[in-house]
Amino acid sequence: MTTKVFISKGSAATETQRAFVDAVLEMLDIAGMSARIMNENEWSHEQPLTAIRKIMKECDGAVVIAFTRTKYKDGLELKSDKEIPLENIKLPTTWNHIEASMAYSYELPILVVAEHGLKSEGLIEDGYDWRVFWTDMDPMVVKSEKFKGFLKSWKNAVDERKNSKTLSSEALNPSKITVGELLKMMSVPQWWKLIGAVATILALVATGSYKLGAEKWPWQKIAEPNKTNQQITNNPHS
């Protein structure tokens, strides 16, 4: 069964960005993963957040490809009553942060690949449950041993989550639970309830049998017909 992974990326604006994204998607395909990308191979009539949430629930991992969407030559960062000068600010699409946050809330293993020079903030920075793979967006980097190592480590986490989810699903499937497993799962109060239910059913069955059996319990033999009456019945002259 193909592993589905959610891809968070902006619309590529340059040939370099497009080539790099294509290279990453190709590596995922080689690794046996199916990329789910909004407005490319996934469409919905619903609002974006609702549609993304539904798609993510079907995925076992997420890949965030962050590259420059907005540039500022200079600016100021207001922090702790201070003005910190900034130069050559590069920011990715806001959706990288939104979708990474959603993926994290669903406990999906996340692979973050970011362009050198982006402002390291939000989910595009180290210090969470992952390390950011910083790159100059050269498609050949995707074939490097370093990237393959990142990809393999992340894929192992994705496979582990997928297998765990499959086992949990099978464990909760009544059609795949044996009687022995079901009995082992029962607590003491549940055992007493089961015994009570069985006793009630047996009592109802016995009562029904009593009424249908001429007011005789199933274990009682029906009395033999009266011999006198039987002889009279068999007498052809009577």
* Kind of pairing between the strands at 61-66 and 70-79: unpaired
pLDDT the model gives residue 238: 46
pLDDT the model gives residue 182: 56
pLDDT in tens, the chain (238 residues): 689 999 999 999 899 999 999 999 999 999 999 999 999 999 999 999 999 999 999 999 999 999 999 998 988 888 888 898 988 899 999 999 999 999 999 999 999 999 999 998 888 888 777 899 999 999 999 999 999 999 999 999 999 988 887 665 545 455 555 666 555 555 666 667 778 777 777 766 666 665 555 555 555 555 555 555 555 455 555 4
Closest to 123 in 3D by CA, of 146, 136, 104: 104
* Kind of pairing between the strands at 132-135 and 110-115: parallel
Q: What are the structural domains, with CATH classification, of the chain? A: 3-174 (3.40.50.450), 186-233 (no CATH)
pLDDT the model gives residue 167: 63
Please list the helix, strand and coil fractions of the chain in percent, rounded to the nearest 5, in that order. 45, 20, 30
Residues 109 and 131 sit within 8 Å (Cβ to Cβ): no
What is the spatial distance between Cα 149 and Cα 141, in angstroms, rounded to a whole number?
A: 12
Stated pTM of the model:
0.69
